[in-house]
Amino acid sequence: MSATQHQIEGVITQGVTLARGFRAAGVSAGISALEGKKDVALVVNDGPLKNAAAVFTTNRFAAAPVLWSQQVVGDGRVDAVLLNSGGANACTGAPGFQDTHTSAEHVADLLNISAGDVLVCSTGLIGQRLPLDNLLAGSEQAARALGVSPSDSLAAAEAIMTTDTVPKQAAICVEVEQGGDYLIGGMAKGAGMLAPGLATMLVVLTTDAVLSPEDLDTALRQAVRLSFNRADADGCMSTNDTVVLMGSGASGLVPDLVGFTEALTKVCQDLALQLIGDAEGASHDIHVRTFNAATEEEAEEVSRAVSRSNLFKTAIFGNDPNWGRILSEVGTTSADFDPENVNVLINGVQVCTGGGIGQDRKLVDLAADRKVTVEIDLAAGEHEATIWTNDLTHDYVHENSAYSS
């Protein structure tokens, strides 16, 4: 059935098992340094379609599982995704790539599928080999534990956590006018090294809509552009970022691609905001919106410049609405604007008017709420873009200075 009309319902707190045709599991295999922590997850597409698309980090030191998975998804088919926390398997050379290959073959044997259809994702410390025996044993446990319940979905989301403090899941139901619905679900991990290309993240997205690999790819790239690539916690890019979208076709509904992309973007944005909300050591979630820009690209450039300023981020941590630090970053960009026409608002208070002094900055209360909204009016056009970031705290410095010890 072709679904041309749709109604997008609110985001649901369940992940990859909400969509029909998918099973998941998360188990403890002793890979993580935290005793008893779940550290191996498995997500399986039971079809009838096994279509997929994925995007990966642009870091030139891409990890072994990224190099493997880029090959796997090349034909638009993924039957299963094996994920682990507790080790990134990055910068491990040919032996690390062989470990990834071996783990994919092991999952393929367990599920009676082809190793060339098994995506592999790893997250954790760079520069160490994974304990392969643990990973293989964990994949066996996960294969036996596969299920479709919310608890199975949650277990998988918990297994991919590293410095995350909470699991991250989202899903959505799209009702079609002709009757019936299709579903999109997802899980994500990430709390630091969040920057475009994609973030230190692993994301698995599932849908039971009927879509070709090409349409899945089109929708995914647009959704990622407006979600994960707008999350910029600390300007650092990981070696392991992977976002995969699998389509089972189990709903029997062929969605309007525009409507599907809108729904997928909503799920991805919800997950991206969860990543920012759990950023390492953060005490404020900051939305930097640049509007009335000449182009969307220029609006994004301005918002990103501000979001990456350590001076700005530390000011927000100190509850100091220092708008001068915002304006000085805007001035470093190539965006088209007249400095005498730029306005800046912090939590709705116009602290800068026409590039100069606006309302009293003391009217801005940054201590009352975790969320901070910065709005930059360039008065140069009709476009806008928002970057999501967070403040820079003592806890962030402490957590990352002791990460590998």
User: Which residues participate in catalysis according to the annotation?
Assistant: 200
Q: Which residues of 314-328 are buried (b: 16+ CB within 10 A; e: fewer)?
A: ebbbeeebbbebbbe
**Angle, CA 306 vertex, CA 321 and CA 271 arms, to 5°:** 100
Which one, of 188, 293, 273, lies nearest residue 232 by Cα? 273
Which one, of 366, 322, 360, 324, lies nearest residue 342 by Cα? 324
Q: Which two tokens stand for residue 399?
A: 């957590």
Q: For residue 305, which phi and psi values (nearest 5 degrees)?
A: -60, -45
Contact assessment for residue 119 and residue 64, using Cβ atoms and an 8 Å cutoff: no
Strand order in the sheet with 285-293: 356-357, 349-353, 343-346, 371-377, 285-293, 383-390
347 contacts: CB under 8 Å, gap ≥ 6 = 321, 364, 365, 366, 369, 372, 373
Q: For residue 248, which phi and psi values (nearest 5 degrees)?
A: -90, -25
Burial (0-12, 13-18, 19+ Cβ within 10 Å), 131:
middle
112 contacts: CB under 8 Å, gap ≥ 6 = none
Neighbours of 352 (CB within 10 A): 23
Tell me the C-alpha distance between 123 and 238, whole Å.
10
Which one, of 114, 100, 44, 39, lies nearest residue 67 by Cα? 100
DSSP code for 123: B
Neighbours of 132 (CB within 10 A): 17
Beta bridge partners of 26: 41
- In the chain, % helix, strand, coil (3-state, to 5) comes to 35, 25, 40
